[in-house]
Structure 1
Amino acid sequence: MLDQIVRLAPLIGPMIAALFVVIGWYVVHRSNMARDRANKRHDMIVQYLLEAYRRLETAANREDKTEEQAMAFESAVADIQLLGDLGQINETVKYLEAHASGRGATIDNVLSLLRDDLRKELGLSRVNRPLKIFRFVREWGCGDWRGNPVYRTSPVQTQKASQC
């Protein structure tokens, strides 16, 4: 028996080394797969929330939203509720409840949270200023700047709108 062990001794070292190489390869492969999944997930969430921010900002603080803007706004709210963090979801629900109750609501707090979180995720510095949304005042009458008709989510109650 001792004679057999002595004959296998030169093979035991390389076999143990090969076993460690296989186990090491497996562990590194699994950790790389987990890291790649986490990076892809992170990138996807940042992209969806960036698009949600853009859609909300486009429709925010406009007197008359087009149907396209209203649908983009609804889609952004759905994306936040699906992919946002707890603070973003809570602030969005708070906005939705205030809007639905007719108490008046602005989406600015949700936009600020999205801005802060996206800047953090992208490695940008924190902005300690309130969010400002800029809108031009347009007097286009019955259409857009090209004269094409604008379809609105609710009727416009102005004298110009009745001429359309």
Structure 2
Amino acid sequence: MQGLLNTRQMVQVGYIVKDIEATKKKYAEFLGVPVPPTIQSTGGEEGFGVTRTVYMDQDAPQIDSKLAFFNVGGPMDIELIEPNKAESIWRDYLDKYGEGIQHIAFVVDDLDACIKNCEEFGMKMIQKGYFAAQDGRYAYMDAFDSLKTVVELLERWS
């Protein structure tokens, strides 16, 4: 049986945090690893290279966040996200629920087909974007009704 995404390769658990610097130090201590760098999601060479973000079907160039990644084995990462004040899926989560697990992410081969499959399953796309680092795309699907979380789809993720 093939699932909606044609993959079961989960690569991330994403946490929304208020203070990425303090939180990443605690995770580093907990995991026994070095503290990773903080990356701006929209930064150029020093950042993640998000080149375009669409939120609730509107271009949203004001959206930005600070990111930190911890590899916890194989392709699996813990992602910490500190959103800026602009309205976004991350800011909405922080304002509504506080800090905590916000999404699980899967690598997909065909983002458009997966979005369509998820929408037919009853999910709604809330935010999508493009990241230059890998010439990739991402989409956040609201799966709270069915799966009790947000599902992030990542195309051309490495």
Q: TM-score, normalised by structure 2?
A: 0.24
Q: TM-score, normalised by structure 1?
A: 0.23
Q: Could you say which structure has the greater relative contact order, defined with CA pairs below 8 angstroms and 6 or more residues apart?
A: 2
